[in-house]
Amino acid sequence: MDGPKPASVRVPSPEELEELARYSQRLESATPEEIITWAVERYFPRLTMATAFGPEGCVILSMLARIEPRVYVFNLDTGYQFQETLELRDRIAERYGIVVDFQRPELSVEEYERLNGGPVYKTDPDRCCFQRKIEVLHRVARGFDAWMSGIRRDQSPHRANAPIVGWDKKFGLVKISPLANWTRKQVWDRIVYENIPYNPLHDRGYTSIGCWPCTRPVLLGEDERAGRWSGTGKIECGLHTAD
């Protein structure tokens, strides 16, 4: 579901877009650590990171701990997250000293469902994602100039052309994706090599983890994101789509 863009969303100049495109091209051959270092040098302290504690986010957090652990990192806590996801936050804090902040919608799950006559994820998952995630990120974005994400190009067709650095018109921020050109294998090789904490649900067939009502384990031969909003035709929450 789309909604009105907040008045505070900034529109970049053509010159700024050209500059970002040049940076993105230049960083295409850089390592994720080099990309993060560039982002920190250019945007910190007005640089933030959103993480759902997926394997990519955990890898970036391990790098950020060495490069600049003061970067503000947050999680969009919809109220429907798996307990394993919530517990991973504590394991990350213990290992790296980075305490990921929970950013929540104004209404609790109980208030939200009461107001809407039941779980919105069952009747309109797009609206649920918009109100429990997109609106919250709009609120957080007002305090920053750039944000980092853990998306990879090989995750889905919507992400196939994601630049390393680009303009996120939805949130009015520069968007930096240090792992955009990495593969799933590279991510998991790094996790294993460095013993990076990760969500134990991955060991139970959950290749991509979101909210518990809308996530299932994938079956043999299925796409890695097939377990998200299964049977609905929905494949993205909206955070990483242009519309």
Catalytic pick among 129, 211, 214, 237: 237
For Cα atoms 215, 221, 223, give the angle at the middle one, nearest 5 degrees.
45
Pairing mode of beta strands 47-50, 72-76: parallel
- Is there a catalytic annotation at residue 129? no
Which residues on neighbouring strands pair with residue 74, listed in sequence order?
50, 101
3-state DSSP of the chain: CCCCCCCCCCCCCHHHHHHHHHHHHHHCCCCHHHHHHHHHHHHCCCEEEECCCCHHHHHHHHHHHHHCCCCEEEEECCCCECHHHHHHHHHHHHHHCCCCEEECCCCCHHHHHHHCCCCHHHHCHHHHHHHHHHHHHHHHHCCCCEEECCCCHHHCHHHCCCCCEEEECCCCEEEECCCCCCCHHHHHHHHHHHCCCCCHHHHHCCCCCCEHHHECCCCCCCCCCCCECCCCCCCCCCCCCCC
Active site residues: 237
